[in-house]
Amino acid sequence: DSGVTQTPKHLITATGQRVTLRCSPRSGDLSVYWYQQSLDQGLQFLIHYYNGEERAKGNILERFSAQQFPDLHSELNLSSLELGDSALYFCASSPGVNTEAFFGQGTRLTVV
Residue 61 binds to another protein (criterion: CB under 8 A): no
Residue 60 binds to another protein (criterion: CB under 8 A): no
Q: Are strands 87-94 and 107-111 parallel, antiparallel or unpaired?
A: antiparallel
CA–CA separation, 87 and 42 (whole Å): 11
Could you tell me which stretch among 20-28, 49-57, 68-76, 79-87 binds another protein (CB under 8 A)? 49-57
Strands (E), the chain: 5-7, 10-13, 19-24, 31-37, 43-50, 53-57, 64-68, 74-78, 87-94, 102-103, 107-111
Residue 92 binds to another protein (criterion: CB under 8 A): yes
* Smallest gap from residue 43 Cβ to another protein (A): 4
Residue 106 binds to another protein (criterion: CB under 8 A): yes
Residue 108 β-bridge partners: 10, 88
* Smallest gap from residue 107 Cβ to another protein (A): 11
Residue 105 binds to another protein (criterion: CB under 8 A): yes
CA–CA separation, 86 and 37 (whole Å): 9
Q: Give the footprint of another protein on this chain (CB under 8 A).
A: 2, 33, 35, 42-45, 48, 50, 55-58, 90, 92, 97-106
